[in-house]
Structure 1
Amino acid sequence: MQRLTNKEEEIMKIIWRLKKVFVKEIKAEMKADAPHYNTLSTIVRNLEEKGFVDHEAFGNTHRYFPRITKEAYRKRFINNTLIDYYDNSYKGMVSYFAKEQKISVEELKEIIALIEKEK
């Protein structure tokens, strides 16, 4: 599975959220910096070539839908990030977020409680 570009991820998030979508609907959901319709259509076809989406045809129009789940994509690339940047250490990753003040002590306690509950 390839890593998506930022624009591809933005488009995939829309496809995951809407489930089945035409290119014009993706364009309507995008922020002010939405690419031209033809460019957007090309990006979606590239996503199809990469195996992330598939389509059903309605004449000359295609309605796209995800082939992989958001969870499967997230799991793959969270694991890659963990390996590439934190020496495969969840402790290292959580420590980074704590040091950068991206996670509070209260949130850490909640995470610990969730882990203990799962045991």
Structure 2
Amino acid sequence: MIIKPLTQAEENIMQIMWRLNRATVKEIIDEIPLPKPAYNTVSTVVRVLEKKKIIGHVSEGNSHIYYPLISEADYMHYSVDKVLRDYFKNSYKNLVSFLVEKQDMSSKDIAELEALIKTLKKGKS
């Protein structure tokens, strides 16, 4: 499945869709914090997501019930791969070095990361 990049507005709607799993446009709007966008604005974003094959719908009466076609985990993988490719030359080492050096990771965070790496290495042995 080819995943297409999402705008910030599309990602915001998808966060709601992944949480609710099925929703009408009205139910999506109910989950958005104040100030609420116009119904037509959210409806347009939802239609774009459907055109991108990120969500689908079923008709129930006069309503459309929308549901995710890709999982949040799949989109997370896509996003991390894109960041890795676009900013870190496809190098996990560069990514982890950036996180450790630039994000003020605590000694505890670094120790947990080292423990995770050891655990993952054992699983691949």
Fold similarity call, TM over 0.5: yes
Task: Specify the code of the residue in structure 1 equivalent to 2:44.
Answer: T
Q: Distance in 2 between matches of 1:83 and 1:113?
A: 26
Aligned partner of 1:52 in structure 2 is 54
Aligned partner of 1:75 in structure 2 is 77
Q: Show structure 1 runs of 4+ deviating over 3 A.
A: none
Task: Specify the code of the residue in structure 2 equivalent to 1:21.
Answer: A
Cα gap change, 1:66 to 1:116, in 2 (>3 Å):
same
Cα gap change, 1:29 to 1:60, in 2 (>3 Å):
same
- Residues 21-76 of structure 1 show CA distances to partners (whole Å, capped at 9, x for unaligned) of 11111101112243200110111011011001011101221111100001101101
Aligned partner of 1:43 in structure 2 is 45
Q: Distance in 2 between matches of 1:115 and 1:52?
A: 33
Q: TM-score w.r.t. structure 2 length?
A: 0.88
Uncovered stretches (5+) of structure 1, i.e. residues with no partner: none
State which drifts further: 83-92 or 28-37.
28-37
Cα gap change, 1:102 to 1:3, in 2 (>3 Å):
farther
Task: Specify the code of the residue in structure 1 equivalent to 2:117.
Answer: I
Uncovered stretches (5+) of structure 2, i.e. residues with no partner: none
* Identity in percent: 42
> How many residues align structurally?
119
Matched, 1:9 2:11: yes
